[in-house]
Amino acid sequence: MIAKAPDSFTIALAQLNPVMGDIPGNLARARNAQAEAHAAGADLILFSELFITGYPPEDLVLKPAFQKDAMAAVEALAKDTANGEPAVLIGTPWVKDGALYNAIAYLDAGAVQATTFKVDLPNYGVFDEKRVFAPGPMPGPFAIRGVRIGVPICEDIWGGDPVECLCETGAEILLVPNGSPFDSLKRDHRLNVTVARVVEAALPLAYLNQVGGQDELVFDGNSFVMDAQGEVVMRAPPFEEGIYACEFARDAHGKVVPRAGQVAPELADEASVYSALVLGVRDYVHKHGFPGVVMGLSGGIDSALTLAIAIDALGKDKVQAVMMPSRYTSSMSLDDARGQAQMLGVKYSVLPIEGMFEATLATLGEEFAGRAPDATEENIQSRCRMLLLMGLSNKTGRMLLTTGNKSEMAVGYATLYGDMAGGFAPIKDCSKLLVYRLARYRNSLGRVIPERVIERAPSAELRHEQKDSDSLPPYEVLDPILEAFIEEDLSVDEIEARGFDRATIGRVLDLVKRNEYKRRQAPPGVRVSRRAFGRDWRYPITSGYRR
């Protein structure tokens, strides 16, 4: 028999940053959060999807020892609820009858009271859950301290069936634990989906998302509470950890309604993307235990933005910038790189590559005899720089940041084992046009990039008076073509219908397809678009398809 509902019921949303595979550490984070929720008078605390292990665990979750450790941690946490502490809903892998599930465990009165399993397993984009989990049965609500609470897990609200089943079995509130990765369009998409479920169910909903970086993925938090009319009545700050309490009460008709709380402002597009890049770099470096980073600073826009991101993520003391001039490096580049390093107070080194370049050309002189200079000599310069940067990385333990952008990565305008080398690529998923917008955005908060770097024509400076436009269409043409093909999967005919020249489209797409082998060898980087090169881009290296 369900106890009489209290006048009010407070739910704490734990918008936290778990560490993948650190089960003891995540258990400690959960205990600290539970204590904070208890001090705030919460009746229940909700943790995000697979919080106890971190999300997404990929094939790590298939290890039996990993599964046992996760379940043991949940059972240990359950014992903490024996003395009147808040009840707990926490995400965990769970094995039942020989099947592995993506589960939420309900903990109260010192024990695991019940579990519910994710029904709809996403298997698109960055998700591979059907590879590792079994789909659960249609869920019913938990009776938690007098309130019937439905817990659809993440993808379960993107289709209507699990929520409909919860409504039909008496749910009064929907609590949705998520591991929903950030992309630049995701916030509005999430909100639209959630409004649709709320309107169909006529129930209030609390949407909890994890925060933090996990390899290429960044989770933005952006947790919120919505009333049964689809209005957001509370929103947590994006990209920030915290325990956010929301109070619910019964109205005159006996329905559970949320009381209004603080609604954090939404970030503008560039602010969201920049925040994701900073968080992604910070967590990749910190969670791997690197003492800092080293990177090349060329005087160009890509490395200038990367330096700003690195310092915002880690602090200037953990960043080393290195200018590596050659015979083709302009005085403008030297001045701007030095000026930015001085402006930001970062450790700055100048290591010329001219001697290495000349020695390499001399060594290859007989092999190259009778052949005109071409991109080979340009690539040798880039690889000389890689040797210096990797030497610094190895000697200091600092990770090498790669400074290339998505436009370059798409068409192969980058040197394998040269400027593509490194441990992490912060702006790998940022088009060139987005790089410029982000640079202007960051300068609007306080100038960190010399204005001339933003205004000058981009150049790799690997030959005399070189410009990117010598080899590529203008970025105002290139980037929309790339976005249409990579993120929207449009054909040549469909892209041409948008007003682009067919020959230019063909040339660009041919470059994309011919350079897949390079992208397979590139470092990971922060995903900020609908489709990044990495987890959600799986094209064959060898392919004869040309449409």
Residues belonging to the active site: 49, 118, 154
CA-closest candidate to residue 139, choices 168, 96, 97, 111: 168
Give the whole-angstrom CA distance, residue 37 versus residue 43. Answer: 8
Q: Mark 503-526 as b/e (b = at least 16 C-beta within 10 Å).
A: ebbeebbebbbebbebbeebbbbb
Q: Report the relative pairing of strands 319-323 and 347-350 from DSSP bridges.
A: parallel
Give the whole-angstrom CA distance, residue 186 versus residue 529. Answer: 9
Residues 6 or more apart whose Cβ sits within 8 Å of residue 433: 407, 475, 476, 479
Give the whole-angstrom CA distance, residue 518 versus residue 536. Answer: 16
Q: For residue 144, what are the β-bridge partners?
A: 147
Task: Count helices and strands (H / E) in the chain.
Answer: 18, 19
Give the whole-angstrom CA distance, residue 335 versus residue 330. Answer: 9
Write the DSSP symbol of residue 450. Answer: -
Give the whole-angstrom CA distance, residue 322 versus residue 386. Answer: 11
Task: Tell me whether residue 94 is exposed, middle or buried, using C-beta atoms within 10 angstroms of its C-beta: 0 to 12, 13 to 18, 19 or more.
Answer: buried
What's the CA dihedral at 140, 141, 142, 143 to 10 degrees? -120
* 56 preceded by a cis bond (ω within 30 of 0): yes
**How many residues in total does the chain contain?**
547
Q: What's the token pair of residue 394?
A: 């190895």
* 204 preceded by a cis bond (ω within 30 of 0): no
CA-closest candidate to residue 350, choices 335, 368, 328: 335
CA-closest candidate to residue 407, choices 520, 508, 328: 508
Give the whole-angstrom CA distance, residue 202 versus residue 8. Answer: 19
Give the whole-angstrom CA distance, residue 478 versus residue 506. Answer: 11
Find how far residue 541's CA is from the centre of its chain.
25
Q: Which residue has the tokens 């994710």?
A: 118
What's the CA dihedral at 484, 411, 430, 327 to 10 degrees? -150
Give the whole-angstrom CA distance, residue 349 versus residue 352. Answer: 10
CA-closest candidate to residue 193, choices 185, 70, 52, 297: 185
